[in-house]
Amino acid sequence: MRIVLAVDEDKKTIVKRTGQSAYFAIYNDDKLVEILPNKHHDGGHHTHRENEEDDHSQMAHDEHTNSHKKDVEALKDCDIILVQAVGENMKEALESIGLKVQKIRQKHGTIADEVVRNFLDGNI
């Protein structure tokens, strides 16, 4: 099973908001196999906020979701993403590429290895 977690600059600490993570850590079962940069991390949300501040239309929603879809395309071969929090647009994008989105809590761990272990052991 390929498991994804949103991690911080240190590439191991779980971040609260998935769309604002610096990286995605990809595990094949309990082995870390890849770290991918989140293309949306540096400024992506700032651009959206500036453009959508006064535009809450369906078109703005669709554009934001499509932007996320491009950013997460590299995760399409994964099975599940474990998240503390995920925005509506990011969640839609992740599910559109076939990822199951599973909520986790801080009690499940703050470091990616720990969270994966808890997930595989059935503690999440």
In angstroms, the CA 28 to CA 34 distance is 9
| Ordered structural domains, the chain, with CATH | 2-120 (3.30.420.130)
Question: Per residue in 36-74, pLDDT tens?
Answer: 998 865 544 444 444 445 555 655 545 544 555 677 899
Q: Are 105 and 84 in contact (CB under 8 A)?
A: yes
pLDDT confidence of 20, banded at 50, 70, 90?
confident
Q: Average pLDDT in the 12-21 region?
A: 93
Asked if pLDDT for residue 120 goes beyond 70, the answer is yes
Q: Average pLDDT in the 16-34 region?
A: 95
Q: What percent of the chain has pLDDT over 70?
A: 76
